[in-house]
A and B are shown apart, each in its own frame.
Chain A
Amino acid sequence: MIILKLLIRNAFRHKLRSCLTILGITIAILAFGLLQTVLTAWYSGIDASSSSRLVTRNAISLAHTMPLSYKEKIRMIDGVKAVSPGWWFGGIYIDRKNFFPNFAYEPASFLEMCPEYVLTTDEKLAFIKDRKGCIVGRKTAARFGWKIEDTVTLDGTIFTGKWDFTVRGIYKGKDKNTDETLFFFQFDYLNETIKKTVKQRADQVGFYFISVKDPDRAAEIATAIDKLFKNSYAETLTESEKSFAKHFLSMMEAIIVAIEIVSYIIIIIIMAVMANTMAMTTRERIGEYAVLKTMGFGGRHIATIIFGESFVITALGCILGIALTYPAASIFSKTVGPAFPSFIVQPKSIYLDIAAAMIVAIIAALVPTWQAINIRIADGLRRIQ
């Protein structure tokens, strides 16, 4: 009990220093938690991917296309449930800063494959029936104030020109990981329009989106698809939706790695600050530890006092940092908008915060504790004089 009292009171003996250290830890944990949330948000698309869906693209790269004729051949492969041709459209709404992802798909098969985009039956039918129809996530709809039957015009970047769409449905996500910022429209609208304008690009497909009957057979079916188009002029590469998303993100891997490194550097910096605080406090109290040893207190007691003090300071900083992470994440999410459609502080980020704080507390106290335990009593007492 007295040891507990001692370590808590010691933690606030030098109030200014303790408060500044706690503030430093709070900011570090907040920054670490936010950066970890950014990383989680970045990978949320991968986590949300279904194991029963495959993506087939040109084996050379995503920038190369495949013929539309592959669709029926893929559909005929044993185990394939549905196939939809797809295009990344890259349309801009009024201004580049209004970015949201937009894709062309075959509506009926796409809706069948993607139950995570929740729409009413009427909305689904309206989308399927209207060649110029589109469905949009509720976050994007709310962002621009779109309602059902509104006309939305996108400026094409890959497929130039003005493209008009009618909002036929506003979907909401099945769970919190579902991206609610996406915009989907009919593949046929895109294909038939470019048949008239850029004939050589017609009947081409950016990728195929495929669902399989049995997820356990996904790898076997992927191999079968690629085998089918082997030695054709557009050989394919089929992978799971998760792998595809990972591959897509790997193009930005350098940024992700940089964020990860920065988040750990923050922890290393605060570790140095905390170690400095503990070194100073232990140096100041070395005489007191010598007095305790004179009374018969052992290394275990001294270690408890120093580690305890380190834990008290770090725990307070950690609690404040975690408490501030939630409002900070909310502000961050509003500021960056659709760049991170699923910016949610996950339990994993909190666990990492706690683990980082524990590691800081332990490492910061290691050397001071070793010094305090090993100092000769006579030398420790001399420091007081």
Chain B
Amino acid sequence: MDQPIVEIRNIKKTYKRGNYIIPVLEDITFDIQKGEFLALMGPSGSGKSTLLNLIAGIDKADSGTIRIGDTEITTLSETQLAKWRAANVGFIFQFYNLIPVLTAYENVELPLHVTGLPRKDWRDHVEMALRIVNLTHRMDHYPSQLSGGEQQRVAIARALVTDPTILVADEPTGDLDRVSAEEILQLMERLNAESKMTIIMVTHDPRAANKAHVVKHLDKGILNYDNSEASH
């Protein structure tokens, strides 16, 4: 078996609320293989978004290690993490989080400003990303001129444009109607199948989880069980 793209070992995370220390993740250990499509499920407050944030390098664990590719991200400083994220992580949010004053094209171009990619190549990358999500005809539109599904597709293009190592998605269909949600899931499924993109997705929606190769369930910060390759 190949070396996993993500290795999570004994991760613990707590939050402090006033005088109380609330455990969020308890001794989480698992691997994610390259090209895997993994869904993290669990009730609200189970710690799935926190785990996703730790994997994406936007939060820090209290203890344990996370290795993505060749980099142990738990030892990186904030500045090193920012650089690492720019090169290795594409993030898809539940509420799209596009910048309203930038066009679809500019939103997709935004992450390229913090990568080392030469400026002359930017246009090709942006157009390619928009082509993948089938939105080249809406590139000059502002987010307010796009539907929810289209905005999420722009967000996916923005996540893809840097050609990241992993794509993390926090409830990417949570704010969409059924049809749009299905389109987004199909798009993610296609990305995973055609580009062998490693995708880690947090979701409440069993239909969304059904698209994943591996589904892991968290409850009260503990990895309860998984049904690897459950749907395939």
Q: A residues near B, CB below 8 A?
A: 2-3, 5-6, 9-10, 13, 287-288, 291-298, 301, 376-378, 381, 384-385
A291 to B91 CA separation, bound complex (whole angstroms): 9
A301 to B97 CA separation, bound complex (whole angstroms): 18
Q: List chain B residues, Cβ under 8 A from A301.
A: 113-114
Q: List chain B residues, Cβ under 8 A from A294.
A: 56, 58, 85, 89, 91
Main secondary structure of the interface of A (DSSP, over half): helix
Main secondary structure of the interface of B (DSSP, over half): helix
Query: Is the C-beta of B102 less than 8 angstroms from some C-beta in chain A?
Result: yes
Q: How far is the CB of A313 from chain B (nearest CB, A)?
A: 15
Nearest A residue to B170 by beta-carbon distance?
Answer: A381
Q: B residues near A, CB below 8 A?
A: 50, 53, 56, 58-59, 79, 82-87, 89, 91, 93-95, 97, 99-102, 106, 109-111, 113-115
Q: List chain A residues, Cβ under 8 A from B50.
A: 378
Q: List chain A residues, Cβ under 8 A from B106.
A: 2, 5
Q: List chain B residues, Cβ under 8 A from A5.
A: 101-102, 106
Q: List chain B residues, Cβ under 8 A from A6.
A: 99, 101-102
Q: List chain A residues, Cβ under 8 A from B102.
A: 2, 5-6, 9
Query: With contacts A6-B101, A295-B114 known, is A378 near B58, CB below 8 A?
Result: yes
Q: Is the CB of A293 within 8 A of B95?
A: no
Nearest A residue to B106 by beta-carbon distance?
Answer: A2
Query: With contacts A294-B56, A298-B79 known, is A384 near B95, CB below 8 A?
Result: yes
Nearest A residue to B99 by beta-carbon distance?
Answer: A288
Q: Is the CB of B59 within 8 A of A385?
A: no
A384 to B53 CA separation, bound complex (whole angstroms): 16
Query: With contacts A2-B109, A296-B111 known, is A10 near B101, CB below 8 A?
Result: yes
Nearest A residue to B86 by beta-carbon distance?
Answer: A296
A295 to B94 CA separation, bound complex (whole angstroms): 16
Nearest B residue to A1 by beta-carbon distance?
Answer: B113
Q: Is the CB of B59 within 8 A of A296?
A: no
Q: Interface centre among B59, B83, B93, by most A CB within 10 Å?
A: B93
Q: Is the CB of A295 within 8 A of B91?
A: yes
